[in-house]
Every structure is written in C-alpha cells, then in structure tokens.
Structure 1
Amino acid sequence: MNAIPLQHNPRAAQIRQTLEDLTSSSADIEASALISIDGLLIDAAMPQSMDEDRIGAMSAALLSLGERTARELGRGRLERVLVQGEDGYVIMTAAGEEAVLTVLTRAEVKLGLAFLDIKRAAQALGRIV
C-alpha cells in the first residue's frame, strides 16, 4: 500500500506504528485501518485475508449514515459508529477532521477497554493526519 518506504516518510511511519500498537494492544482487536472521509484507505494493520478496499468503502458509507442519523435525530456530533455481528464488532471513530479509524474486534472483546484504546489511537492519529 505504501508507495513511499516508511523510513522516508515520518508521518506514514507514525500512522503505521499507531495502528500496529492498537492492533497489538489486545488479542481481541483483529484489525485496524485509517480511512479518509472519502473512503480511501490511508493505511491498515490487518491480516492479508481482509479486503482493504471493502473495509474502506463500508467505513465511508457507515460514517456518512451515522453522521446524518446523529444530526437528523438531534444527537449532536457523531462520536462513534458501532456495528455488532455474531462474530464481533466494527467500531468507527473520527480521527481528526479528515479521517476515520475503523477497528474490527472479536465478539468477546471488553468494549470499555477497546473504546479507551481506540479513543487514544484516534486522538494520536488525528494529530498526525
């Protein structure tokens, strides 16, 4: 994904390190990706079996719908989108004004701890992008 080697692009290296740190922070976090608000993948820490393009497109669609829902129903600024499936969660959180952090977890995840780790990573990524 990275056209420029990470050692020559400090921002890209910081993004990658933040994503890898988040993914390795818990055995229940399976993957993380930083996605532009347009749905383009900036970088990801995920198994090769996962489709990065699909995750990017789905994240952009869900984020857009979540923002509209929060606004239309008077819930204020969107903080998080949470999708619960029988095999785990998809958690999306804004990472600055131009990107979203998408995290895939196992069903057994302790959500409170995951939310805390995700919030910290999103804040760090928001300062980088």
Structure 2
Amino acid sequence: MRTDMLQQALEDLNGSTADIEASALISTDGLMIASALPNGMDEDRIGAMSAALLSLGERTAKELARGGLERVLVQGERGYVIMSAAGPEAVLTVLAKSNAKLGLIFLDIKRAAETLSKLL
C-alpha cells in the first residue's frame, strides 16, 4: 500500500511539468524504494550513484561552510540530474530536460520530497 503511494507521488511529480522526464526515490544506502524511470535504466546503478553523490554533496557543503545541503545538481548536454534529500533516510533523484525552468522544478521537487518523506 505504502509502495503504491510512493509510486503515485513520483508519477505526480513527473506529471507536474513536461520538463521532468523521470524520478526515483532511493534509500541513503543506495537501494531503490520506488521509481518512475524509463525502461532500460539500471535502477541499481542509479541508486548507488544517487546515494554516493548526495553523501559527497553533504560532506562538501559542510566542509566548505555552505550550511545544510539542499540539492546536488549535475548538468549534462542533454539535461539535468537533480538530487535532494527526502527525509533523513532517502534521496529523491529527478531527471529534467536541458531547457527546463529550474526554479519551478526545484519547487516541485521540494514539495514532492516533503510528501515522500511523510510517507516514509
């Protein structure tokens, strides 16, 4: 039941704007909790990379006195990977298009992360 609610929250996030292409909720140890990813994406690898990048981002923000980490942003030629904590135990990873309006996406991600955090 809870898994269905998590899945629905991810699908709602993906549907909130055409700029979001995929999303996944991953435990901080890298295990996939729920996902709305295109076929052919390796969930295990995405989980491991997301957890590692979020952990590195948190350490970097702390070491460089930037305060608590809000998100990790990776920009590639074909778009963005945005990672944000969803409570203390999970990472929300979102794939967005290269022409995405980031301010709006950050807001959608923040709302979704709060919803997902409550469901966990």
Aligned length: 120
Deviation for aligned residue 1:77: 0.9
Q: Distance in 2 between matches of 1:80 and 1:41?
A: 19
Q: Identity over the aligned pairs, expressed in percent?
A: 71
The residue aligned with 2:118 is: 127
Structure 1 residue runs of 4 or more that deviate by more than 4 Å after TM superposition: none
From 73, 89, 93, the equivalent of 1:102 is 93
Per-residue CA deviation, residues 82-116 of structure 1 (Å, 9 max, x unaligned), is 01111000001110110010000110111011011
From 8, 27, 49, the equivalent of 1:36 is 27
User: Structure 1 regions of 5+ residues with no counterpart?
Assistant: 1-8
Q: Distance in 1 between matches of 2:55 and 2:102?
A: 23
> What's the TM-score once normalised by structure 2's chain length?
0.97
User: Structure 2 regions of 5+ residues with no counterpart?
Assistant: none
1:1-129 → structure 2 map (5 Å cutoff): 9=1, 11-129=2-120
Give the letter for the 2:99 counterpart. E
> What's the TM-score once normalised by structure 1's chain length?
0.90
Q: Distance in 2 between matches of 1:103 and 1:53?
A: 15
Over the aligned positions, Cα root-mean-square deviation in angstroms equals 0.7
Per-residue CA deviation, residues 30-86 of structure 1 (Å, 9 max, x unaligned), is 110000000000010011121111110110110111011011111111111001111
